[in-house]
Amino acid sequence: MDPKKEDRCVFCEIVAGRAKAHRIYEDDLSLAILDINPFSKGHCLVIPKRHVPWWHDLTEEEVESLFRVARAVSQKIMKAFSPDFVAIYARGRRIPHTHIFVVPTYGGDVLDRFFNALEGFQEATIELAKLKSEEEFQEAADLLRSA
């Protein structure tokens, strides 16, 4: 990775202590911080301390750490805010440094509505319905197994 790009990465700046963040929890490989653009109170990001744009390029140890920290933060969120659910999902497109969103969600909030709409879309469209055929499942399974 180009060290100059890492120097411009906001998450690398946070890890290095050069940028402000509300640190919630960390271990040797990962750090959880409050998101500065939260979907709800307590919305955190879990980031690897090493600059890695895509989560599938992390080492096994980094993946384990990332999800261990995400779980610990989820437990803290449940205790602190008592949400209906804690949603997690991986991102990295807008800020090309792997991060997992850890978001307390409540029935009817923005994420609940979004995921309900997404699930409705997933179940209702003709294009996606085609993916449910046994032939499509078998082709996808064969491609994934041989990759």
| CA neighbor of 33 nearest in space, from 79, 84, 102 | 102
Residue-wise pLDDT for 13-47, tens only, equals 999 999 999 999 999 999 999 999 999 999 999 99
Question: What are the boundaries of each domain within the chain?
Answer: 3-106, 108-147
Determine whether domain 3-106 maps to CATH 3.30.428.10.
yes
| CA neighbor of 61 nearest in space, from 74, 71, 50, 77 | 50
Q: Are 73 and 102 in contact (CB under 8 A)?
A: yes
- Looking at the whole model, is its pTM more than 0.75? yes
Catalytic sites, residue numbers: 99
Report the range out of 11-20, 85-94, 105-114, 126-135 with the highest average pLDDT: 11-20
Cβ-Cβ contacts under 8 Å for 22 (sequence gap 6 or more) = 33, 34
